[in-house]
Structure 1
Amino acid sequence: MPTAPSREAHWAFVHAERAALAEDLAGLTPEQWAAPSLCGRWSVEEVVAHLTAAASIERWRWLRSMIGARFDDGVHNDRRLAEHRGATPSVTLERFRAIETSTTGPTGDTGAWLGEIVVHGQDIRRPLGLQRTPSAEATTEVARFFASRNFTVASRSAIEGLRVEATDEEFATGDGPLVRGTTLALVMAMAGRSSYLDDLTGPGVETLRSRIA
């Protein structure tokens, strides 16, 4: 079994993925900033503001925010997003660049914060047709984390009773009907992004589809 990367290695992956996303964002038009993302009702700009918020709030401030929101994740996220969204997309991007090397997070679960930037990066790129793929090392770490536990998404539950195998990296887990695809497609499906299901093959795909529909 591969040795798990250290917290420092996870943060290095996070910082690299933030830098790559900032580079992609720099060339967006106003229409692209306002375009829908894969992340529910949020636009591209709102997802970027959410990423900034998540990298700017430590444990106790997060807890106070959640108490103020009566532990409603949606209310908490919307309030923090509004706090970090700029008056213009260029200001929103400037604020995102400012947290590029941040190691702040509500918890010490660095695998979750790596998943945050990998998944939300694709939430932005896929609808805009941007082709950059996160690093294999980062994506594999997210796949392992998502397969091991439910955290901000019900990723472990989504693949329960299925055999999940990557076609591009050494990631495989579980027993049951097979689901195969790139590590990134598996990660995005585990995160509940149904648009990636068409990138997967195997008899277990329909079970996975029914769980994240």
Structure 2
Amino acid sequence: MRRTAPTRDHLWAAAHAERAALADDLAGLDDARWALPSLCARWSVEEVVAHLTAAASVGPWRWVASVVGARFDTDLHNQRRLAEHRGATPAETLERFRRVTTSTTAPWGPVEAWLGEVVIHGEDVRRPLGLSHTPPVETVTAVARFSARRDFTVSGRTAVTGLRLEATDGPFATGEGPLVRGTTLALLVAMAGRESACDELTGPGAAVLRRRCAGGPPRGRAASRERR
């Protein structure tokens, strides 16, 4: 049976729901927990949230101007935008993030990438904090299908080349080769380069995917071709 692709409106609604859920999950944190390292290399929990605010606040032309102003150093670009949207306190950082919950602003590219931004970075902060959240399977499936096809905001296609991925909780399946099985969310987070998610995967291809994740993701980069 031919599947129906989600519309832009559905994808943005999913992104808004995931932002709201993340904001609610972080509302009770003390300052020490906001300072914990995230899964996104060198960024704290608070810095990842500020990065998400920046990604939902910077449109294409401003993004281009920022990258040019940083002389095409995407790390510097991201640090400047992160600093711009980080508050004086974690509480202010969270409040700034709440203000962009329903934003449809994005630097450029498909909506699936920006839905993936909050789903993947949501795991980057929840997992170190011991928080559990499972987005609707249709939300994660849309991002997983996109990530497996393209190296855009994460190098998903590169990560799964030569492997067969099958979700245990939904319809996501892709590729040919040694099998990797797990929840759609675990497969997506592993595709994004987070080695810890590989603990939740099974099958003869799981060790291959773990090796590809072993270096860990570099610092997050909104709208750049990288492995966050």
Q: Distance in 1 between matches of 2:6 and 2:106?
A: 18
- The corresponding residue for 1:112 is 113
Identity rate, percent: 67
Match of 1:121 in 2: 122
Alignment of 1:2-81 (within 5 A): 2-81=3-82
**Within 5 A, what are the aligned runs for 1:92-111?**
92-111=93-112
Partner SS state of residue 93, structure 1: helix
Question: Displacement, 1:84?
Answer: 0.3
- Residue of structure 1 in register with 2:191 after alignment: 190
Question: How does 1:166-185 map onto structure 2 within 5 Å?
Answer: 166-185=167-186
Query: SS at the partner of 1:2?
Result: coil
The whole-number CA distance in structure 1 between the counterparts of 2:73 and 2:179 is 36
Higher relative contact order (CA 8 A, sep 6+): 2
Cα deviation for residue 153 of structure 1 reads 1.3
Q: CA deviation at 1:212?
A: 2.0
Name the Cα RMSD after superposition: 0.8
Matches within 5 A, 1:200-211: 200-211=201-212
Question: What CA distance in whole angstroms lies between the structure 2 residues aligned with 1:192 and 1:49?
Answer: 21
CA distance in structure 2 between the aligned counterparts of 1:5 and 1:72, rounded to whole angstroms: 34
TM-score normalised to structure 1 length: 0.98
Q: State which drifts further: 82-91 or 62-71.
A: 62-71
Letter in 2 for 1:182: T
Q: Under a length normalisation based on structure 2, what TM-score does the superposition of the two structures give?
A: 0.92
* Structure 2 partner of 1:140: 141
Describe the superposition over 1:147-192 as per-residue Cα deviations: whole angstroms up to 9, x where unpaired.
Answer: 1111011111100111000001111011100000000000000000
The gaps in structure 2 that reach 5 residues or longer are: 215-228
1:131 and 1:212 mapped to 2: Cα distance? 22
* CA distance in structure 2 between the partners assigned to 1:95 and 1:148 by the alignment: 33
Find the residue that maps to 1:49 and give its secondary structure: helix
CA distance in 2, matches of 1:5, 1:147: 17
Moved over 2 A (4+): none
Aligned residues: 213
Matches of 2:74 and 2:170, distance apart in 1: 33
CA distance, structure 1, for counterparts of residue 109 and residue 71 of structure 2: 23
**What is the one-letter code of the residue matched to 1:43?**
S
Distance 1:100 1:143 in 2: 22
